[in-house]
Structures are given as structure tokens and as C-alpha cells.
Structure 1
Amino acid sequence: MFIRAYLRASTDAQDANRAKAELIQFAEQKGVRIASFYTENQSGSKLERAELARLIDDSHPDDILLIEKVDRLSRLPYEQWTALKQQFVSAGIHIVVIDQPMTHAILEGSTQHSMIARVLTEFMVDLAAAMARDDYETRRKRQAQGIEKAKLAGKYQGRQPDHMLRENIALLLGEGKSWSQIQRLLRCSRSTIATVRKQST
């Protein structure tokens, strides 16, 4: 049994590795070790995620997927969440969520615990996934309402570019840094680097 930790942030401006220390601490408290980490910056409302797909492909039956919260795994609509969950079921992957104690029983290792954990995990993860999706849709709705209100008041200027980020990208491009190096240093997308490169030529 291997424990594989999944770390996700929604945008390049956020740090997907923020929760890494918490996951390591949790594993130490449970007397287990994390075999590998899978990190990506991608919205939880997107079904296709390269690192999550790689984690599933790398896993064997009874391996564990460790996450901080269910919303790191899914903010998907019900149908897409069901499809993703079926991938875990088909691969025989157990899900352990730090903030869902009922999912921790699988780490006890006994057959009885494993059977109970599988039932409880499916229920708790389904419930948390539904709540995560509801929260996502509520925030999107409020954001849209705020934008519409600002438009009516003549105050909406659209999403503004991060000028400091773009200046740093231009500086690193000028120093001859590769796009991959810039991505690692600034945690930005390749499309943003491309935009800066185009503007500077």
C-alpha cells in the first residue's frame, strides 16, 4: 500500500504546495509515510487534470490518495464527480481526507476497518464534494452579481493584469531564463509568459 498525496491550487498565482507540510505532519501522526506528491495548478471544476490522471495511473489496488480537503479533489458537477469517483473505484484507490476524520479508518489497516472505511469514505466524500460544488457555484454567482452591479454603476474595468508579475517575467526573459525556469520561479502560466514575450518584441 502506497500513500500518494495530491496538492492542487486553482490558479498560477496560488501556491499548490501550501498544504504540503500539513499532509506530511498528518502522515507522521498516523505513523505512515507519503510515497509521492502530485502537484498542479488547475481548477477543481475541471475534470481533466494531468497530475491527478497520472496519480490514478501510478496507483495500485488499495493505495491511498491523501488530500487536505475534498475541494482540492473536486468542485465538479454531480455527473462529472461520479465519473471521476468511478476511476478511483476501478483503480481500487482509497481516499483519505485530513479534515474528514471518518476517512482515516483505512490507515488502521485491519480488514474490518477497511470495509467500514470504504463505506464511510464514499458517503463522506460524496457529501463533501456536493458541498464543495455548491460553494463554488455560490461564489461564482456572487462574483457575477458583483460584476453586473459594477457595470451598472459604470465602475467595472474588467480583470486587470498583474503588472508586477509581467515586469518580473520581462526581466527574467531579458536575462535569458527559459520559460520553464520562469514558471518555477514566478508560478505563472505559459500563456502569460507568451503575452509578455509578444508585447516586448
Structure 2
Amino acid sequence: MLNLLIATTLGETIMANIGYARVSTEGQELTAQLEQLKGAGVDKIFKEKASGVKQDRPQLAAMLDHLREGDTVIVCKLDRIARSTKHLLEIVETLEARKVSFKVLNINLDTSTPTGKLMLSMLAAIGQFEREMMLERQREGIELAKQAGKYKGRKATARDKSAEVQELLKQGMTKQAVADTLKIGVASVYRIARASTK
């Protein structure tokens, strides 16, 4: 922490370990996660008390805004940062684009190592498999609904809302506010914003 303070004072760029801790309900405590993160040598911790299904995670958005190239995000478990494999991969994609590493303490995942990258690619493969299975079930459901005359079309996805995301960002809204307004994940907003600057 002292090195970080000295480097900041001197105007140098220094890599930082950034922790993220989350509990799902107000009754749960962050103490155990905070102790593990401090033991892992984090310089700053973002603390969240939010449900796994809700889109609004202001501290996750704040952490993503805070990150700089070379930083490492550290969590105790995968389910503390992501709601699903798909959500996890969105977050990791955002981190990789920012050149930020990712560590998960309970499974020794570290994307700065070859083993960590392999583990991540396996997770990505699982995520793709889950998505293909979901799409197959969806197609079957749509076919049955069409036969019964009950098909109403699909709901808009985050990708479908990319023009709205870009417009709201141009108006000066924060990424978290855009996510809340459009009812999409904040990681999706970051991905759309990044794609629009390419």
C-alpha cells in the first residue's frame, strides 16, 4: 500500500491488486471474504451487498471504472463476481481488453499464467456448450409455441440495444445508469462501449 502511495505521489503507473467482495443478502457478512482478500495482498477492496440475479451492482461498475492496465482483480470465489458462466466470460473479456489479470482464490485461477489461461478457455468452452444447449431448447420451445399459435417473438438482448447504449453514453450517463435503464448487465455496457471505439 505504501509503494502504491509513493508511486501515485511521484506520478508513476503501478500495478495494483484490486479485490471484489459480495454477499447476496443484507444479513450476510463480508468479513471472511475481506480477510482472504487482505491475505492475498489486495491494495483496495470494492464491497457489494447485492442479489445474484439483480443487474444493479454499483460496486462492480465502480471497480471496472477504477481499473488500470496491469492491475489484477482478485475474488474469493467465481460466484462472488458473476451470476453465470456467460456473465463471467463477459467480465473476463472486459478485463482482458483493459489488460487486467484475474485471480480466483479458492480454485487457484490466475489468468496471468498459462494454466490459468487454459482453465479460462475450458470455462469458455463450457459457456459455449451451455449457450448452444439453451438455444436448442429455445428453438424447440419456439416451434411448439408456433404450432400452438402462441409465439410472440423474442425479447431484445443487450446486443439489440447497442444503439441505445451508445446514445445514453453520449448523453453523459454512467455505465451503471445505462445498465439499470436498459435492464442489461454493466459488463455488456462496457463491451458495447469498447466495440464502438474500435
Give the TM-score, by structure 1 length: 0.48
- Bigger Rg, structure 1 or 2: 1
Relative to the length of structure 2, the TM-score reads 0.49
Name the structure with the higher helix share.
1
